[in-house]
Amino acid sequence: MILSSYKSYGEQGRDRDRKHYGDMMLNKIMGRLTPLRFFIICSVVAAILIISYNIAFKPSDEIIDEEIPLAAVHFVTEGDVLKVRVSADEVTDLYGYQFRLQYDDSLFTVDGVQSLVTDIPTIFKKNFDGYVLVGATMTGEIPGYSASDTQLCELELTANTIGDISNLKLSKVNIVTSKLDYTEDVDGWTYDVTMNAPVN
């Protein structure tokens, strides 16, 4: 019993000694810690935390079939796919249309075109040097298509090599109504482009 009490007192004594030594060292460190040194230490710790966060939460560079707006695209590499959507501010009694899309035929291959208007199902393309001619029409004796801010068709182009896409241009827009009224070089037709980048 005496031995047990002595052992318990000895352990408590060592604990008090360790605590006293720890308090003494802490007081010594705090005594030497000037405001400037404290500021430097805090700055270093903050920088380490910021760097660690950026490394842990850095987004992946991998892009899987992500559509990128044209405003963010200036150059393409081999395999990139451009989708060119042609729109009109307003159409009235539109029975058919045709236009030219100028592009660098050494850079792109026009893979296809599709109508985005159910009422104008028949669409075709024909490739020429430096541009593709696109035409679409209704069939039968039916009223033309009327709408505002409407997307009419979409072309798909695949890049064959690295290059600049700034030479894309829409021109020579001609339309015909159901009454066979034909108008050339109409205004208000535009296009927008998105790019589907392949997996890096």
What does the pLDDT read at residue 165? 78
Is the pLDDT reported for residue 108 higher than 60?
A: yes
- For the chain, the domains span 2-56, 66-194
pLDDT interval class at 54 (50, 70, 90): very low
The model carries a pTM of: 0.62
Tell me how far CA of residue 139 lies from CA of 21, 87, 119, 173, 177, in angstroms: 97, 21, 9, 20, 12
Fold classification of 66-194 is Immunoglobulin-like (2.60.40)
Q: State pLDDT tens for residues 8-21.
A: 445 555 555 555 55
Q: State pLDDT tens for residues 109-143.
A: 999 999 999 999 999 999 999 999 999 999 999 99
User: What's the number of CA atoms in the CB half-sphere (13 Å) around residue 158?
Assistant: 7
